[in-house]
DNA sequence: CACTTTGCATTGCACTCGTAATGTAATCGC
DNA sequence: GCGATTACATTACGAGTGCAATGCAAAGTG
């Protein structure tokens, strides 16, 4: 049976199955066997591509943040050449909210990994990198939108945290999308155009 | 051996052990046996007081939110009679940040339960109730602090979300306490005194 | 003093877990 | 053609899981 195969495609296929399970039933439901079944392969195949469960989780984590960043990229591109920085900020932040199904799944996964990272330092490192990049990007956009802003770095931290906080509350406490979006809009007005 | 015993004290003792484990190693490390060992009892004792693992988790969840609310209560009382509403808001929100060790543990537990609630609807209900109460309380304080505020409800949602978001980032992405507090202060200024 | 209830401790069961080991069939480089 | 590599499939193992069952001693209740 062994045709020549692209191993990264296979790994991606398995990681996608893992992320589906994590999104729907939580990281606790992720095991070699459940992932294998969801991916439609045997657990031997999973073992063939990942030497350990840990490495599989790691790979899936990177895949998830990759998906998120590429979605951002697409939406940014859709804004056209030289968009208003405020629009760019909105795209960045609202992409964190679980709205339609594709991004809702990613948000669920994100929350699961954040909780995981709170007790596993190696995972935390990766999240810290991503957040630092996002914060820096945001700070730049804030500066572009309001050159007189007194503290773009603090504002960026705040924007990022409130978007993530709204997302968490939507997923865990029944906050509605409309309310979250309204709050996020208020946040933009009030922080970006700060005195 | 069986002296007469206060069963709620025993349940509390076991729940506290569960929360310690959840805070240090995550909800995944919580099992009947690990909890029993941490509590210094046998797994039979745990089984005696909780008919199932699910009920134990439920009880611990309520215990955790109880601890949080009582801490808020104490700090509120420490503000004295008729404090400035802004101080009350600060107390409420900064209590969500993992600063010293006792509240850091609770924050870790909170994050773990939020992730759990994202995939388990029964747990989500309880979190939703708590959040709704907090939001209502916050909205009242905002009204008291700035009677001319255009949208106290939206502002309350935003404040709560940003505090929780900052907490999540501290726990999962290495955000420092100082930075989180600075951001939270900016948030208060900018949202409560909104135009 | 008998009896029921309370407060555990111990043991066992069926199951799932991650991982190691082994087998095997197809493909590639030579 | 042939050995090495690739791509799995299958099986087995020891550890851990939630939970049910049983035992049993002390204390309250009549």
Report pLDDT digits (tens) over A140-166.
Answer: 999 999 999 999 999 999 999 999 999
Q: Does pTM top 0.75 for this prediction?
A: yes
pLDDT band, very low/low/confident/very high, at B103 (cuts 50, 70, 90):
confident
Strand D interface, protein residues by Cβ within 7 Å: A 1-5, 7, 10, 41-45, 47-48; B 1-4, 30-34, 43-44, 47, 51-54
For residue A1, which nucleotide's C1' is closest to its Cα?
Answer: C26
B111 vs A contacts (CB less than 8 Å): 114-115, 118
Residue B85 burial (CB count, 10 A): 16
Nearest beta carbon to residue A161 from set B174, B183, B190:
B183
Asked whether the predicted pLDDT for residue B127 surpasses 60, the reply is: yes
Nearest to B172 by CA among B122, B131, B115: B115
Report pLDDT digits (tens) over B162-178.
Answer: 999 999 999 999 999 99
Place of tokens 């939580």: A26
Q: Does residue B162 contact residue B94 with C-beta atoms inside 8 Å?
A: no
Beta strands in B19-61 (DSSP E): none
Report pLDDT digits (tens) over A4-56.
Answer: 677 799 999 999 999 999 999 999 999 999 999 999 999 999 999 999 999 99
SS3 A5: coil
B93 vs A contacts (CB less than 8 Å): none
Report residue B194: phi and psi, to 5°. Answer: -55, 150
CB contact burial A12-46 (16+ within 10 A = b; e otherwise): bebbbbbbbbbbeebbbebebeebbebbebeeeeb
Asked whether the predicted pLDDT for residue B4 surpasses 70, the reply is: no
User: Is A166 in contact with B157 (Cβ distance < 8 A)?
Assistant: yes
SS3 B3: coil
Q: Report how far residue B72's alpha carbon sits from residue B92's, in angstroms, rounded to the nearest whole number.
A: 6
Q: Report how far residue A190's alpha carbon sits from residue A173's, in angstroms, rounded to the nearest whole number.
A: 25
User: Is B154 in contact with A186 (Cβ distance < 8 A)?
Assistant: yes
């Amino acid at each position: 049976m062994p045709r020549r195969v692209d191993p990264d495609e296979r790994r991606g296929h398995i990681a996608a199955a893992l992320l589906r399970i994590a999104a729907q039933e939580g990281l606790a439901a992720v095991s070699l066997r459940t992932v294998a079944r969801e991916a439609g392969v045997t657990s031997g195949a999973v073992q063939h591509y990942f030497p350990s469960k840990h490495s599989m989780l790691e790979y899936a984590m990177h895949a998830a943040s990759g998906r998120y960043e590429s979605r951002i990229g697409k939406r940014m591109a859709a804004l056209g050449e030289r968009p208003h920085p405020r629009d760019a900020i909105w795209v960045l932040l609202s992409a964190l909210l679980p709205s339609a199904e594709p991004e809702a799944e990613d948000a669920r996964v994100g929350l699961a990994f954040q909780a995981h990272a709170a007790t596993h330092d190696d995972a935390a490192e990766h999240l810290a990198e991503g957040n630092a990049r996002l914060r820096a990007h945001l700070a730049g956009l804030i500066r572009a939108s309001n050159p007189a802003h007194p503290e773009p770095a603090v504002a960026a931290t705040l924007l990022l945290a409130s978007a993530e906080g709204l997302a968490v509350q939507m997923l865990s406490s029944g906050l509605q999308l409309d309310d979250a979006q309204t709050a996020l809009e208020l946040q933009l007005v009030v922080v970006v155009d700060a005195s």
